[in-house]
Amino acid sequence: MKEHTKLKIFTGSTPNTTEKDLLLAKGILSGAVNTQGARESLKEYFRNTWEEDIFLFNRGREAIYFLLKNLGLKKDDEIILQAFTCIATVEPILWSKCKPVFVDIQKNSFNIDLEKLRSSITPRTRVVLIQHTFGEMVNMKKVREIVESFNNERDNEEKIFLIEDCAHLFSLTDDRIGKYSDAFFFSFAQDKAISSTQGAMLVVKNNNFFSSNLKQEYEELDELNQREATYNARYVLLWEKIKRFYYTLEIPLIRFSLGKLLILLFRFLGLIKKQAKVNIEKDCNIKKMSDIQAQLLLRQLEDWEVFNQHRQEIVTIYEDKLKEEYRTSYKKGDTLLRYPILSEKKNLIRKILREEKVIVGNWYSSPIYPLAWENLSSVGYVKGSCPNVETACKNILNLPTGIEVSKEQAEEITDILNSV
């Protein structure tokens, strides 16, 4: 195999950070940049696109929880969502004391199977949560038709609320987003399409479901304290250091390195946390997005079209050059956050790519990621209930599409994969 010396790719860890983001983060931490009022400016920015009620949160899961809390749900009300998802979508359901009902994905995509969605709706279903996995858009018009076929028969207090989970994509111009749902949200976590390392925006389009005044409920939410608020600016800088030293002084067999030592050290000092940490027991205190997060996001928004254009170009390389056996039946046209491939040789591929300094993603190697398979029952997932999900989990890897990977590198990755 030919030498691949240039690769150094971390699919998923702050893939969008540019020099401009690092400069801003330094400015925020040194006090040279005043972030006061940034959350309001961000809201105004989004108002140019969405005229409905806009709410900014610390995380996507808090946006979901905010909705569920205000929908007046009762214990054991059912909320339908697909398996092959992140624990972040399930936590708010459990915090609300509701019951997650997991539906299988289609055989030829990583999105919910609409016929199985239809047959999973029961008189107790109050919410349907639809996820555009990897950024591939679900046919929301069809979902709306399914939901309406039930809503037409129901009294107001029993109608189903439709939430669209746009965590894996971002666009200000794709008019499919939010067209058919009652509310939709984006996540701006460290591994998303644009990022403030943590953050989320929720747009509520249909207020008829809420007896409470959402704006007032939002105003009463807590702010992050000073230490929590600076976390995100520091995170940008710390991860830059971790990546820079990730392979420095690496001990070959155990693969320990200076970068890994930094991760352990920063975690020990509480400077970085595991983003997808599982928290199903403790309730969550919903927090507003901080001005620092908003400022970081305003910077990223300068480049959202550049990021998306780049992702499309990288996806095209994978589509055109990857061996047929890796291809999923993703349909061209969407901007993918990660490019999924399926292979029974997944572990071998991971190992080979790791030797070339490419760390590929593993969304979702468990039906409710990152929950271990033996713990799935703790969130109500029954093993064997979603066969397409389970097969996908066993064989999936995700290739990077973000600006961290150049076109040349995407071609190198393709060459490596094709030679396995």
Ligand X SMILES: Cc1ncc(COP(=O)(O)O)c(C=O)c1O
Q: Which residue number, 59 or 310, has a Cβ lying nearer to ligand X?
A: 59
Annotated active-site residue 192? The verdict is: yes
Give the whole-angstrom CA distance, residue 413 versus residue 405: 10
Q: Does 12 bind ligand X (CB under 6 A)?
A: no
Q: Which of 9, 189, 224, 322: binder of ligand X (CB under 6 A)?
A: 189
The residues with which 202 forms a beta bridge, in sequence order, are 55, 185
Question: One symbol per residue from 197 to 236: x for binding ligand X (CB under 6 A), - otherwise; what is it?
Answer: ---x------------------------------------
Q: Does 131 bind ligand X (CB under 6 A)?
A: yes
CB of 183 to ligand X, least distance (A): 13
Query: Interaction with ligand X in 369-408: which residues (CB under 6 A)?
Result: none
Query: What is the three-class DSSP state of 217?
Result: helix
Only segment of 18-26, 99-107, 165-173, 221-229 that touches ligand X (CB under 6 A): 165-173
The residues with which 57 forms a beta bridge, in sequence order, are 200, 288
Give the whole-angstrom CA distance, residue 417 versus residue 233: 36
Q: Which of 167, 233, 341, 416: binder of ligand X (CB under 6 A)?
A: 167
Ordered alpha helix ranges (H), 245-340: 258-268, 291-301, 304-321
Give the whole-angstrom CA distance, residue 301 versus residue 9: 23
Q: Which residue number, 138 or 341, has a Cβ lying nearer to ligand X?
A: 138
Q: Which of 59, 234, 260, 288: binder of ligand X (CB under 6 A)?
A: 59
Q: Which residue number, 259 or 361, has a Cβ lying nearer to ligand X?
A: 361
Q: Does 165 bind ligand X (CB under 6 A)?
A: yes
Q: Which residue number, 59 or 126, has a Cβ lying nearer to ligand X?
A: 59
Q: Tell me the residue type at 178.
A: G
Cβ-in-10-Å burial (0-12, 13-18, 19+) of 210 comes to middle
Task: Count CB atoms within 10 A of the CB of residue 265.
Answer: 13
Give the whole-angstrom CA distance, residue 290 versus residue 245: 30
CB of 271 to ligand X, least distance (A): 18
Q: Which helix (H) or strand (E) holds 194?
A: none
| DSSP state letter for 190 | T
Q: Which residue number, 187 or 232, has a Cβ lying nearer to ligand X?
A: 187
Q: Does 92 bind ligand X (CB under 6 A)?
A: no
Q: Does 295 bind ligand X (CB under 6 A)?
A: no
Cis peptide before 247 (omega within 30 of 0): no
Only segment of 82-90, 102-110, 156-164, 222-230 that touches ligand X (CB under 6 A): 82-90
CB of 168 to ligand X, least distance (A): 6
Q: Which residue number, 35 or 133, has a Cβ lying nearer to ligand X?
A: 133
**Which of these, 264, 201, 268, lies nearest to 56 by C-alpha position?**
201
Taking the CA atoms of 385, 391, 393 and 394 in sequence, report the sign of the dihedral they define. Answer: positive
Name the active-site residue from 192, 243, 260, 287. 192
Q: Does 194 bind ligand X (CB under 6 A)?
A: no
Determine contact, residues 240/13, Cβ cutoff 8 Å.
no
Residues that bind ligand X (CB under 6 A): 59-61, 85-86, 88-89, 131, 165, 167-168, 187, 189, 200
Active-site annotation, residues: 192
